[in-house]
Amino acid sequence: MDPIRIGIVGMGKIARDQHLPAIRGDAAFSLAATVSPVADQGVDGAPHLPSLDALLAQGPAVDAIALCTPPQVRYDLAAQALARGIHVFLEKPPGATLAEVDALEACAARTGASLFAAWHSRFAAGVAPARAWLAERQIESVSIVWREDVRVWHPGQAWIWEPGGLGVFDPGINALSIATHILPRPFYLRAGTLLIPANRAAPIAADLSFCDTAGAEIHMDLDWRQTGAQSWDIIVETDAGTCKLSRGGAVLTLPSGAEHKEDREYPGLYARFATLIHSGRSDVDTSPLKLVADAFLRARRDTVEPFND
């Protein structure tokens, strides 16, 4: 089978750190082009174009694109590609609104292109075994603690603080992508507080109380003001003991002991994307984005001191 010719659109941090090595390491894909407005963001071995319009007008031909731009500009790019039958990989979050993601899914169904709403944290090494272990347990309570230093992880990313950029939910949605995948029952928001810096449009911290459909409480503590040790932990108390996912899902600790396997998140995502393309299917799960949208609908907003990079 010929490799899928793929273009990466949005050559920022995640494209360089993860997409390029995952594509280069997967024989199912060949890197056909890179796209972003800055001329020196290209890489050796593939042409670099300033916009998706330019790529579609001038070539080289692509079968698929990976959209690694900020979420606010993703709909127009995805819609343009899908309308031409080009398969689309959407970095997380899949869009700036839920309705636009629905519209993209309908467009993919019309044109026969595959649309993949990728949730990289679901491919972290501990997540699949945690899901399998929890499927047979009674969930008593869940604690999600996602505390990191925004100055370390998102320096100068102005878009992340703008409407549609999600603020602290940009990493927090990764925790929700894991929780919605491993917990055996759906859950929903009951109450919460968003802390929003006076000079920004998006929260820097959030405290959220969810409940699953059997009444188990799920507490989420998100904070971007963390310095020193960082936490990306999900702790599930069950009738058979504690299941802890730490380091963003990489390390799983069960009552029987801890497991840490090699990081395969982006290789796993690309393997899934290739399977979807070859089988003519899409995979668009918006459940993590729904919970974030609900936080913006349902939580109290408190203004806190201005944040400057």
Considering the rule CB under 6 A, would residue 267 count as an interface residue with ligand NAP? no
- The DSSP output letter for 305 is -
In the complex, the smallest distance separating the C-beta of residue 139 from ligand NAP, rounded to whole angstroms, is 27
Touching ligand NAP, residues 137-176 (CB under 6 A):
157, 170
**Given the complex with ligand NAP, which of 42 and 184 has the nearer CB atom?**
42
Considering the rule CB under 6 A, would residue 71 count as an interface residue with ligand NAP? yes
Cα distance between residue 158 and residue 89, in whole Å: 23
In the complex, the smallest distance separating the C-beta of residue 49 from ligand NAP, rounded to whole angstroms, is 9
C-alpha 251: how far from chain center: 19
Residues facing 245 on adjacent strands: 234, 252
**Given the complex with ligand NAP, which of 70 and 203 has the nearer CB atom?**
70
> Candidates 64-72, 180-188, 220-228, 256-264 — which segment interacts with ligand NAP by CB under 6 A?
64-72
Question: Among residues 92, 244, 261, 290, which one is catalytic?
Answer: 92
Strand segments, DSSP code E, in the chain are: 4-9, 29-35, 48-49, 64-67, 87-90, 115-117, 139-147, 187-197, 205-212, 217-223, 231-238, 241-246, 251-254, 257-260, 300-304
* Residues near ligand NAP (CB under 6 A), total: 23
Considering the rule CB under 6 A, would residue 19 count as an interface residue with ligand NAP? no
- Residue 274 neighbours by CB distance under 10 Å: 22
Touching ligand NAP, residues 85-114 (CB under 6 A):
91-92
In the complex, the smallest distance separating the C-beta of residue 230 from ligand NAP, rounded to whole angstroms, is 13
**Given the complex with ligand NAP, which of 41 and 111 has the nearer CB atom?**
41
In the complex, the smallest distance separating the C-beta of residue 308 from ligand NAP, rounded to whole angstroms, is 18
List, edge to edge, every strand of the sheet that includes 251-254.
Answer: 257-260, 251-254, 241-246, 231-238, 139-147, 217-223, 205-212, 187-197, 300-304
Which residue bears the tokens 């972290």?
124
Considering the rule CB under 6 A, would residue 309 count as an interface residue with ligand NAP? no
Q: Collapsing DSSP states into helix, strand and coil, what is residue 124?
A: coil
β pairing state of 139-147 and 217-223:
parallel
Write out the catalytic residue numbers.
92
The residues of the shown chain that bind ligand NAP, judged by CB under 6 A, are 9-15, 35-38, 41, 51, 68-71, 73, 91-92, 120, 157, 170
